[in-house]
Amino acid sequence: MLPRCFRLKRQQDFHRVYRRGESRAYPAFVLHRKNNGGGKRFGFSVSKKLGNAVARNRVRRRLRHAVYAAADLFPPGADYVFVARSAAVDLEWSELERQIKKAASDSAKARASRS
């Protein structure tokens, strides 16, 4: 479980990342990233289009756990919001982990190219 200090909880934080951040699409999710100058925080969004509450919660739990396992790969100083896509519902666990790690390396490269 991600500690509270690593989680985005307030709606205005999510909106700030959506409006002012940059995004990159992957098959299972869209990653929105916004530099914040502090530590790294993660948020998760799963639409009702993905299914009933059981399916949405399952997707959210799987995303959260995969990000928790790879949290040290994401560069600090940014807020990250993962928006689940319909492919995440039936995705194999190993593929989800691979996509999360790819997103982390892409974020690190983007951060390095800006510095």
Domain that holds residue 61: 4-106
CA 87/CA 96 separation, integer angstroms: 10
Which strands form 78-84's sheet, in the order they lie side by side?
A: 22-25, 29-35, 78-84, 41-45
Q: Classify residue 114: in a domain, yes or no.
A: no
Alpha-carbon distance of 56 to 60, in angstroms, equals 6
The reply to whether 79 falls in a domain is yes
For residue 45, being part of any structural domain is answered with yes
The tens digit of pLDDT for each residue in 3-60 reads 777 889 899 999 999 999 999 999 999 999 999 878 899 999 999 999 999 999 999 9
Asked if residue 59 belongs to a domain, the reply is yes
- 112 lies in a domain? no
> Is residue 39 a part of any domain in this protein?
yes
CATH code, domain carrying 13: 3.30.230.10
Q: Is 46 contained in some domain?
A: yes
CB 97 within 8 A of CB 63: no
Q: What is the pLDDT of residue 44?
A: 96
Residue 115 in any domain: the answer is no
Is the pTM for the entire model greater than 0.95? Answer: no
Q: What is the total count of domains within the chain?
A: 1
